[in-house]
Structure 1
Amino acid sequence: MSEDWKPYTLPRDHTESNRLDAEHRGYKVNVGYLLHPRIREALPTNAHQFPKERDGKVEYGLLNVLKDVPEHHKAKFDVFHLRLLICGLKTRDWQKAARHVLDLLKPGGWIQWQDSNFPNLKCYNNKPGASRKACSGLLSPVLKALSAQDKFMPHSITGLMSLVQNAGFEDCDEDVSSSDRVAETRATNNVYQQDAVTTLGKVLAQQGAMPGWTKEQVDAVTARCIEELRDAKVYWRWDFHIVTGKKGP
């Protein structure tokens, strides 16, 4: 990694893990699937096509997506599913990550890359005349600070399909869904998305990346945000982009 690499923006603790779990559950409901239907149709359709040697175990390991793929991992996988790299990579690293996923896949293997259009996150009125001042007032400096740290890819997540295509994937396609495709999830979405904005605000304020803000000020504004969100008077909304592509023969 380069010397100017900034660490992952969000914390790595149980509270954040629980928030991410809730976020992923919400994504599953609103996107409507875990593995894209076009990939399921392309994979083995009956037990005769499964690998002959299986021990029923799942192996866990760490892999740095920004480093060259180790030889023993090259062309070993049928599917690689990435989620939520937004805020985690610098602009120059997205293309590198996509190329490394291409190296991991077998010929004919699939990538599914799902990310949130977080740069276009907005707070909307559900009740006419309800205030959005606190929510918008906290979000704006958070997005500005993340942009200054180069944690958003060019053209936001809307450029994700072109990025995957340029990495060498074929037959690429894209689904776009909203965080409230299932309207009943808005209340839950509000909780984990406000937690994300608040946590980012605290981290960035402590880094000095949000001039004029302290952790205590973020907490104070968050209390007002929660009041605005109460009883669904206003709600957070954003889009998901799900890009699929295939490695050539």
Structure 2
Amino acid sequence: MNRQGQRPQRYYASERYLLPADADESARLDAQHRSIVRAFENRLSLIPMTNFKTGDRVLESAAGTGIWAIDFFERNANNGIILDIECTDLSDRQFQKLKGHPNIHYSLHSVTDFPLEWTDRFAYIHQRFLVVALNESLWQQAVNELFRTLSPGGWLELVESDLKNYRFDIGPYSKKAHSLMFAIYAEKGVVLDLPAYLPLLLQKAGFVDIQCEARPLPIGSLPDTGYRSEEWGAACRGLMRPVLEYGLIETEEEYESVVQESVREWDSSSEAILVCFTVIARKPY
């Protein structure tokens, strides 16, 4: 709240992407990063590529705060490998950690329209959580761009949400939050079953060696087993703008009450769960 007792205005970088791009969202994304890495046994990447060499180019698409790129760079640097990493997003407002970093660069690009000069450029591309940004048509454009910009033999890794198997509607308020969220997804044409959809799309684009792994992330009060309830509440809170714009709820205060009570339900239950997965694929030589 600000000094007048009003909730600060959230900043949204795009009409297409449903979540904001501001300081609160940056904090949520950094917490989410830690949760996802824990879920995948503290691995930043599942690709089988172990022979990176100094100077290899890596792209983090839809980079958010760039926290994954920083961690990935540092892990490789600790082994004497200095990578050249490019971070892209629709806004640079969350790139504060990247400014001044000598080996991590940032630029404003959409995954559906990368620069022409990036053709065959990157040895590895990593992208997370664009499920709420892309419909089927945009996913097709994105996958084609990702294929084009990978170098022959390069690896792609997409970390995404399996919305079809989310289970966080465990009480009256969280059921309300669930119904509001999925009403927005229906309006936007969000693909709910990405674990089934993406491998087929990647294969059609020409990728090979396609593999998929999923992890459950419980929602609750324990910090080391998945998502904290408040962390998931922050994600729900970020959907305030589309919830109001679509007339699904009347006031910010009403929606905030739904979120706060949902957090209490998740804190007192062991039934709420999210599912995330990673799909990896290689561009043929």
| TM-score normalised according to structure 1 size | 0.80
Quote the residue 1:79 is aligned against: 124
CA change 1:31–1:213 in 2 (3 A) is farther
Rounded Cα–Cα distance in structure 1 between residues aligned with 2:149 and 2:259: 42
Cα distance, 1:176 vs structure 2: 1.2
Decide which of 235, 246, 257 is 1:196's aligned counterpart: 235
Answering whether residue 71 of structure 2 is matched by residue 35 of structure 1, we say no
Which structure ranks higher in relative contact order (CA pairs < 8 Å, sequence separation ≥ 6)?
1
CA change 1:74–1:187 in 2 (3 A) is closer
Q: How does 1:63-212 map to 2 (within 5 A)?
A: 63-67=109-113, 69-123=114-168, 132-150=171-189, 152-153=190-191, 155-180=193-218, 185-186=224-225, 188-200=227-239, 202-210=240-248, 212=249
Cα distance, 1:44 vs structure 2: 4.9
Rounded Cα–Cα distance in structure 2 between residues aligned with 1:168 and 1:146: 28
Decide which of 23, 27, 39 is 1:14's aligned counterpart: 23
Rounded Cα–Cα distance in structure 2 between residues aligned with 1:205 and 1:243: 30
State the Cα RMSD in Å: 3.1
SS at match of 1:122: coil
Rounded Cα–Cα distance in structure 2 between residues aligned with 1:144 and 1:89: 16
Higher helix share: 1
Which AA in structure 2 matches 1:105?
Answer: L
Rounded Cα–Cα distance in structure 2 between residues aligned with 1:235 and 1:14: 30
Structure 2 unaligned regions, length at least 5: 1-13, 55-75, 85-101
Rounded Cα–Cα distance in structure 1 between residues aligned with 2:145 and 2:25: 27
Cα distance, 1:209 vs structure 2: 4.5
| TM-score normalised according to structure 2 size | 0.71
CA change 1:205–1:71 in 2 (3 A) is closer
Cα distance, 1:205 vs structure 2: 2.6
Structure 1 unaligned regions, length at least 5: 125-130
1:48-107, Cα deviation, whole Å (9 max, x unpaired):
xx79x9xx622222222112x433211111000011011011221101101101111111
SS at match of 1:148: helix
CA change 1:158–1:229 in 2 (3 A) is same
1:14-36, Cα deviation, whole Å (9 max, x unpaired):
00111111111100100221111
Rounded Cα–Cα distance in structure 2 between residues aligned with 1:187 and 1:174: 19
Which AA in structure 2 matches 1:204?
Answer: P
Bigger Rg, which one: 1
SS at match of 2:127: strand
Rounded Cα–Cα distance in structure 1 between residues aligned with 2:18 and 2:192: 18
Quote the residue 2:264 is aligned against: 227
Asked if the contact 1:30–1:180 (Cα under 8 Å) also holds between the matched residues in 2, the reply is no
1:193-227, Cα deviation, whole Å (9 max, x unpaired):
12112321x222321252x4432211122232232
Which AA in structure 2 matches 1:203?
Answer: R
SS at match of 2:276: strand
CA change 1:102–1:203 in 2 (3 A) is same
Answering whether residue 33 of structure 2 is matched by residue 24 of structure 1, we say yes
